């Protein structure tokens, strides 16, 4: 009989593998159990409901502020544009006196083109608006008259009431008779008979170059205009305050906007 304690291990005893050396922690595979943990649904719901969508039809405060800012910007731009246009392009004026009847009447409202003489020159017959300045005392800042004689020309009102004009290098023998179709018959007649402001006496201003002055004659310098009102018998114009300096000129009246019955251009 053999001794059960001698020799190799008994066949009934299982083989047990001896444990090997421990591997360093960083070399061990990490088996995360996170994926195996069911997602907390309450957390998911919280994340979704944390950002509440805007309700359609209810603008946010930021949108209201933005809309208000846009409207303010539009109003500011419109005001600036209006001021620029008024200052440099077109301005409305109201007629304060009878001096230009029947072309324009008291209370009429007209538009004045301020660019006309920035890009062009005053033409004979233009309805010119100019600053009163120190030309003559009065309540209004601007006056409107008709341009009759241009820089360098000589104007003469003769005893028959007609206006004659000649150029810088010319004399009375070269004068031409000024046609004035814009005058009403009554204004022309009053002008000829000397009603109101005398036209055949020595009323010309000292700014005329012809000194000593000659009766009813004025020679202009290179920077002045001689203006008259169409209502010659009731107009304070260059016969009273002399030539108008070019720097006083504001612009040309070109359109009447009031009254409605008389709307139109000149």
Tell me whether residue 121 is in a domain. Answer: yes
Q: Which residue has the tokens 């007629």?
A: 95
Tell me whether residue 105 is in a domain. Answer: yes
Any idea what the CATH number is for the domain that residue 203 is in? 2.10.109.10
Task: Report the predicted TM-score, pTM, of the whole model to 2 decimal places.
Answer: 0.68
Tell me whether residue 148 is in a domain. Answer: yes
Tell me whether residue 13 is in a domain. Answer: no
The helix (run of H) or strand (run of E) holding residue 118 is: helix 116-119
Split at pLDDT 50, 70, 90, the class of 254 is very high
Residue 200 has pLDDT above 60, yes or no: no
Q: At 256, is the secondary structure helix, strand, or coil?
A: strand
Domain that holds residue 124: 91-265
Are the C-beta atoms of residues 197 and 203 closer than 8 Å to each other?
yes
| Structural domains of the chain, count | 1
CA 260/CA 139 separation, integer angstroms: 27
Tell me whether residue 59 is in a domain. Answer: no
What does the pLDDT average to over 160-182?
91
Active site residues: 99, 145
Residue 84 or residue 235, greater confidence: 235
Tell me whether residue 163 is in a domain. Answer: yes
What does the pLDDT average to over 201-218?
76
Distances (CA, A) of 246 to 13, 57, 143, 194: 131, 62, 14, 29
Q: How many CB atoms lie within 10 A of CB 113?
A: 18
Tell me whether residue 49 is in a domain. Answer: no
């Amino acid at each position: 009989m053999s001794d059960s304690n001698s020799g190799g291990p008994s066949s009934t005893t299982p083989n047990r593998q001896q444990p090997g050396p421990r591997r360093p922690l960083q070399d061990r595979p990490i088996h995360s159990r996170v994926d195996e943990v069911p997602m907390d649904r309450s957390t998911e719901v919280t994340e979704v409901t944390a950002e509440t969508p805007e309700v359609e039809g209810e603008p946010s405060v930021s949108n209201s502020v933005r809309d208000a800012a846009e409207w303010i910007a539009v109003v500011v731009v419109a005001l600036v544009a209006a001021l620029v246009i008024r200052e440099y392009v077109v301005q409305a004026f109201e007629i304060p006196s009878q001096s230009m009847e029947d072309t324009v009447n008291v209370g009429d409202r007209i538009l004045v083109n301020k660019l006309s003489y920035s890009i062009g020159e005053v033409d004979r017959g233009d309805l010119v608006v100019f600053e009163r300045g120190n030309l003559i005392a009065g309540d209004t800042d601007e006056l409107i008259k008709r341009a009759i004689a241009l820089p360098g020309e000589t104007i003469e009102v003769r005893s028959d009431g007609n206006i004659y004009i000649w150029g810088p290098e010319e004399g009375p023998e070269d004068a031409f008779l000024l046609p004035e179709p814009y005058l009403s018959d009554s204004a022309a007649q009053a002008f000829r008979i000397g009603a109101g402001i005398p036209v055949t006496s020595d009323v010309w201003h000292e700014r005329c170059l012809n000194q000593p002055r000659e009766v009813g004659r004025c020679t202009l310098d290179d920077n002045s205009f001689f203006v008259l009102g169409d209502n010659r018998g009731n107009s304070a114009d260059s016969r009273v305050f002399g030539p108008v300096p070019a720097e006083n000129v504001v612009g040309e009246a070109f359109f009447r906007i009031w009254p409605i019955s008389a709307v139109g251009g000149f």
